[in-house]
Amino acid sequence: MAKAKTIPAKSLQAIQESKAPVNKKAARSRVGKLPDARADVPFDDDVAELKIYPRTVEDRAVYINPKTNRKLTEFQFKVLDLCAQIPKGKVTTYKKMADAVNSSPRAIGGVMRINPFCPQPVPCHRVVASDGFLGGFNGQWGAGGNMRNKRAKLEKEGCKFNADGFIVADKSGDFNVFGDFDTSKL
């Protein structure tokens, strides 16, 4: 692998647009030293490129979504902030997220569709329909290559599926749904 070069960035936008290769071993060794690193969020080896998530009001005000060439709204960042809370090995539903921000499941799906931070730090593959159906992924609803990728990511994280492609519920009828969102900082 070619050695990564250090390039001075004049703005968050310059960092976002950078396509510099990521040295995974070096990144793993430094991840705990980052100022906002969280020990409960594991380093994901599947990430091919580093995605910087804007956390300050100033950074969010200038961030341009590369998928849409538009700024993200306050609501969209609120939904992405919620999604970033879903732990590995769990899923949540479009409805649970909608309830947390007083919105609709369809609006949540719209934000997930344009998520520029997938799979880390905003793991939108962990958002499914209320009945355990996968829903959509990367702009696609139903069957197809994107849905196979979503299912593969969830299987890698421990989710089980039935023959019809729905997440298998445990004995209590639950399919490991996360809904304990911290909305105090939204």
How does pLDDT run across 20-62, given as a tens digit for each residue? 444 555 544 544 444 444 444 444 445 545 578 999 999 999 9
- SS3 sequence, 102-137? CCCHHHHHHHHHCCCCCCCCCCHHHEECCCCCCCEE
For 99-145, how does the pLDDT look when each residue is reduced to its tens digit (9 = 90+)? 999 999 999 999 999 999 988 899 999 999 999 988 878 777 767 67
Q: Where are the domains of the chain?
A: 12-156
For 3-24, how does the pLDDT look when each residue is reduced to its tens digit (9 = 90+)? 444 444 444 444 444 444 445 5
Q: Return the active site residues.
A: 124
Residue type, 105: P
Fold of domain 12-156: Arc Repressor Mutant, subunit A (1.10.10)
Nearest to 90 by CA among 137, 141, 153, 39: 153
- This prediction's pTM: 0.71
6 vs 97, more confident: 97
Residue 97 clears pLDDT 80, i.e. is over it: yes
pLDDT, residue 50, reads 54
6 vs 165, more confident: 165
Round the average pLDDT of the chain to a whole number and report it. Answer: 78
Nearest to 167 by CA among 114, 117, 92: 92
With a CB cutoff of 8 Å and minimum separation 6, the contacts of 13 are 62, 63, 64
Q: How far is CA 127 from the centre of its chain?
A: 9
